[in-house]
Amino acid sequence: MKFIPLFLLAVSATALQAQTSAPEAPRTKSKPIPVLRSTAQLESVVQNSSLVKVNATSQPYNLHLPWQKESPSGRRGLGVVLADNRVLVTGQMAADATYIELELPESGQKIPAKVVAVDYEANLALLESAPSDKQKAFFAGLKPMAVDASARIGDAVSILQTGRVGEIIESPLRIGKVLTRRYNVEGSGFLVYEANGIIRSEANSFTLPVVKGSKLAGLLLSYDSKNQVTTILPAPIIEHFLKDVADGKYEGFPGLGMELQSTQDEQFRDYLGLKPNAPGVLISTVMKGGSAEKAGMKKGDILISINGFTIDSRGDYKDPQFGALSSSHLVRGRAYVGDKVEIKVVREGKEVTLNGQLARRNPDDYLVLPYQFDKGPRYVLMGGLLFQELSRPYLDAFGEEQRSGAILRLTRIATHPDKYEEEGRKKLVFLSMVLPTPSAQGYDKLGGQVVNKVNGKAINDLNDLAEAFKNAKDSWHVIELDEFPHILYLDSFSAERDNMRLLDGAYRIGSLKRLE
């Protein structure tokens, strides 16, 4: 199955990771044809709505040469004007952006904008322009669009785009499924709609609104052109995001921090002591520092309910609006950080009630950083040896087909980091590259090695590493690794000399470290 992310409708980019395992939605019998309408003609379809073009320049850092940036690239999308002249787009639109501007579709009038709030897990961003006479004039003819979270399976919705001269292009769709799925980065699943219909390709499709009548029902996530299936980021998640932003202190979407294992297999149920019709799923993993661990949940518990909703053998509950839905939505979509949660489990044959408070683990709280935008990777360069903190983006930059040897080993560590978490490490520091310098001669084939100690100091993050390099042992830096050759020796005087050469050399290295 070939999935086309929304931004590939206009430009070439890496496909969203979440689409590779997406289930197919049933096809509709008819194939709706996109309808072209002027802004005035669309008033009956989208009353009191406002759409503006959003243009952004993006320039992420090079993950393998962290002192450098990639070449800049442009993104174009269609944003939705909300209350207080703020504009809603996907988080992808704002990621690593160095400049953002808003543009009126018909007149082409433009003003600069900035990001007010962004959640890369939920793939949402809110933009605004600085107050000025120009800003007032720009928004004078626009009206905010309300959000409608009432959509259900079977409802008709439409994707909106603008053509070359500002005309509105409407693509009718019908919601066929509601499920949970990861959006764009590592993390728990969020609610999505799957809809059926044809979407016409236009030049401003990095962010596209989905409307139900005259209100916002979601934003386009991806489009499978082969099966004509559209994945939509739905209004309930947008409402959650906007409500969280409203108090001026954005906290994000909470999570329980656990992994579930289905109990549908009869023999497995017998092994667990579950009766044939009894609810519940096995807790296979409880993540350190998560809401579940803080509430007292343990690996091997059988989860039977969350906040009064019964959890079945698949890990689903019966949602009053959407029907059978993953239990993750009870936390990710229906609750907020700080809310109380009641969890019932079966432990050693007895029902136990656990009470806790929902929290969110920030990206920096993870041993292996799940994602990173808007800032460069942390690194330390010493005598040609480049040290970094392991992250999912670093591994993903190799691609699945390039993961072998040391990279494959690091990928396995990232998937199962328990050993290093138990050691109390904050981050996993590793030797990522060896540059051709005199002091690093002979180490050129090394890379992908986890660092345990430097000059006798245990390394729990890059700050420890930078501090350890200040204290050479008898003019030598002694670097202890997890794997063969286990110990590296670096002459401290030669390393400092090579550091100066690197700053003036062909690698365009402006700094020997980034720790912020």
Distance CA 413, CA 422 (A): 13
pTM: 0.88
Measured CA to CA, the distance from residue 297 to residue 47 in angstroms comes to 49
CATH 2.30.42.10 in the chain, residue ranges: 258-357
Amino acid at 225: S
What's the 3-state SS for 130-192? CCCHHHHHHHCCCCCCCECCCCCCCCEEEEEEECCCCCEEEEEEEEEEEEEECCCCCCCCEEE
Q: Can you give the pLDDT at residue 204?
A: 52
Angstrom distance (rounded) from CA 297 to CA 274: 19
SS3 421: helix
Q: Which two tokens stand for residue 74?
A: 């442009």
Burial of 516 (0-12, 13-18, 19+ CB in 10 A): exposed
The topology under which CATH files domain 258-357 is Pdz3 Domain (2.30.42)
Residues 245/116, Cβ–Cβ less than 8 Å:
yes
In 3D, which of 145, 417, 318 has the Cα closest to residue 430? 417
Per-residue model confidence (pLDDT) at position 202: 67
Encoding tokens for residue 22?
Answer: 């997406």
Q: For domain 1-250, give the fold.
A: Thrombin, subunit H (2.40.10)
CA distance 499 to 491: 12
Helices (H), 29-148: 91-94, 133-139
Fold entry, domain 368-514: N-terminal domain of MutM-like DNA repair proteins (3.20.190)
At 137, the amino acid letter reads A
**Are the C-beta atoms of 224 and 4 separated by less than 8 Å?**
yes
3-state secondary structure of 396: helix
Collapse the DSSP code of 238 into the 3-class scheme (helix H, G, I; strand E, B; otherwise coil) and give the result.
Answer: helix
Give the pLDDT of the chain (516 residues) as one tens digit per residue.
Answer: 433 444 333 333 333 333 333 333 333 334 444 554 444 444 434 433 589 999 999 999 999 999 999 999 999 999 999 999 999 999 999 999 999 999 998 889 999 999 999 999 999 999 999 999 999 999 998 999 999 999 999 999 999 998 877 788 899 999 999 999 999 887 778 999 999 999 877 655 578 999 999 999 999 999 998 999 999 999 999 999 999 999 999 999 999 999 999 999 999 999 999 998 899 999 999 988 899 999 999 999 999 999 999 999 999 999 999 999 999 999 999 999 999 999 999 999 999 999 999 999 999 999 999 999 999 999 999 999 999 999 999 999 998 766 778 899 999 999 888 899 989 999 999 999 999 999 999 998 898 999 999 999 999 999 999 999 999 988 999 999 999 999 999 999 999 999 999 998 777 899 999 998
Q: From 250, 460, 261, select the one nearest 360 (Cα to Cα).
A: 250
Residue range(s) of every CATH 2.40.10.120 domain in the chain: 1-250
Q: Looking at residue 6, what is its pLDDT?
A: 40
CATH 3.20.190.20 domain span(s) along the chain: 368-514
Name the token pair of 238. 């947008």
Q: Provide the pLDDT for residue 507.
A: 79
Query: Residues in the chain, how many?
Result: 516
Distance between CA 202 and CA 33 in Å, rounded?
A: 14
> What amino acid is encoded at 105 in this protein?
P
Sign of CA dihedral 263, 269, 273, 274: positive
DSSP string, 243-298: HHHHTS------B--EEEE---SHHHHHHHT--TT---EEEEEE-TTSHHHHHT--
Q: What are phi and psi of 84, to 5 degrees?
A: 65, 30
